[in-house]
Structure 1
Amino acid sequence: MSVDLGPEIWFYHLESSSVEDTLPPLIEKCLDRLWRVGVYSTSKDRLQRLDTHLWTWKPGSWLAHESPNFSAKESLAPICLLSSTGTHVEQWSTPEAIFLLDGAEWGKTDDVKRICVLFDGRDEGALTHARSQWRLAKENGLIPTYWRQSEDGKWDKNLLATA
């Protein structure tokens, strides 16, 4: 008998690349698993930039999504860009994966398989916020995983990281 520990929560410490460079390949991996993806941000400007970027991020590829101005309850898109108040994300018909940007917080996680927190390690405020999210995850019985970008741009996983 297996015990459900809740969703995986992965922290991506960005140092040499931007959210716009990092997010699309991670989304593609989720879509390969046939997961619906919610991208949450506290920044309307970021969501607008991503709305354009996801259609054109690399030649021959596009990530079909709903823009930040759609009716969340009616969407059938595999990816939705959603606004966050900074405390709890706007609910959308449950995605299996959620990406939190710009200090967005997770809310209800029923049926969520993975939460990915992307934060800019060069920004002290973002780093401090990510540390508080890490502590909150642990306090809620989740097992956070820390990913840090190496100098060659690859991601190194560290299960024992403490933030």
Structure 2
Amino acid sequence: MTEVFFYHLQQQPLERVLPVLLERCLERGWKVVVQAGSDERVRALDELLWTFSDESFLPHGTEAEGKPEMQPILLTASDINPNGAQVRVLVDGAEGPDLGAYIRAMVLFDGNDEDVVAGERLRWKALKAAGHEIAYWQQDDSGRWVKRA
């Protein structure tokens, strides 16, 4: 079954955490699909990945730019996987497809919004009941990621 990692964002926003996780995926040779909740968010993430660091570059593209099958990191608001990604990242409450086709899925959510947290608890329960291997990561006071479950 797929490993599903939940990242409870409280100390740092998505814009700081996502690029680091994507870099780690690429270091492992994995292709990634990042699914956002809207086309507007896809455009914002596209801009972020071009500008998040002066020292780093994350090769990526969007579904709208064409040739999505050639992208190491594909940003989308739909549940497609044309680049044959091994990893699916869900942000902004995006539902995503059946996660069984992936090595790993990552769910990044705003831990400061109780409605979002409640929704992700339901997702956790459903994915666990479906037999996926689930892990829950939260940042400690110093900003380090700690596996809580």
Q: Quick one: which of 72, 84, 106 aligns to 1:116?
A: 106
2:146 is matched by which residue type in structure 1?
D
Q: 1:7 aligns with which of 2, 10, 20?
A: 2
CA distance change for structure 1 residues 71 and 129 in 2, over 3 Å: closer, same or farther?
farther
The answer on 1:63 being equivalent to 2:58 is: yes
Corresponding residue of 1:42: 37
The total of aligned residue pairs comes to 149
Aligned: 1:25 with 2:20? yes
Change (3 A) 1:75 1:92: closer
Aligned to 2:88: 98
Asked if structure 1 preserves the Cα contact closer than 8 Å seen for 2:34 and 2:75, the reply is yes
CA contact (8 A) 2:5 2:105 kept: yes
State the Cα distance separating 1:55 from its structure 2 match: 1.2
What do you get for the CA RMSD once the two structures are aligned?
A: 1.5
* Residue type of the alignment partner of 2:90: L
Q: Give the deviation of 1:110 after TM superposition.
A: 4.8
Q: Is the 8 A contact 1:40 1:81 kept in 2?
A: yes
SS in structure 1 at match of 2:42: helix
The one-letter amino acid paired with 1:76 is M
Larger relative helix fraction:
2
Instruction: Specify the alignment match of 1:79 in structure 2.
Output: 73
Contact 2:6/2:106 (<8 A) preserved: yes
Instruction: Give yes or no for contact 2:60–2:72 (8 Å, CA) kept in 1.
Output: yes
Q: Distance in 2 between matches of 1:33 and 1:117?
A: 19
* 8 Å CA contact 1:66, 1:75 repeated in 2: no
Instruction: Note the residue ranges of structure 2 that are not aligned, 5 or more in a row.
Output: none
Task: Describe the SS at the equivalent of 1:75.
Answer: helix
Q: What is the TM-score when the length of structure 1 is the normalising length?
A: 0.85
TM-score, normalization: structure 2? Answer: 0.92
Q: Is the 8 A contact 1:48 1:68 kept in 2?
A: no
Residue of structure 2 equivalent to 1:51: 46
Shift of 1:50: 0.9
**Structure with greater contact order relative to length (CA < 8 Å, sep ≥ 6):** 2
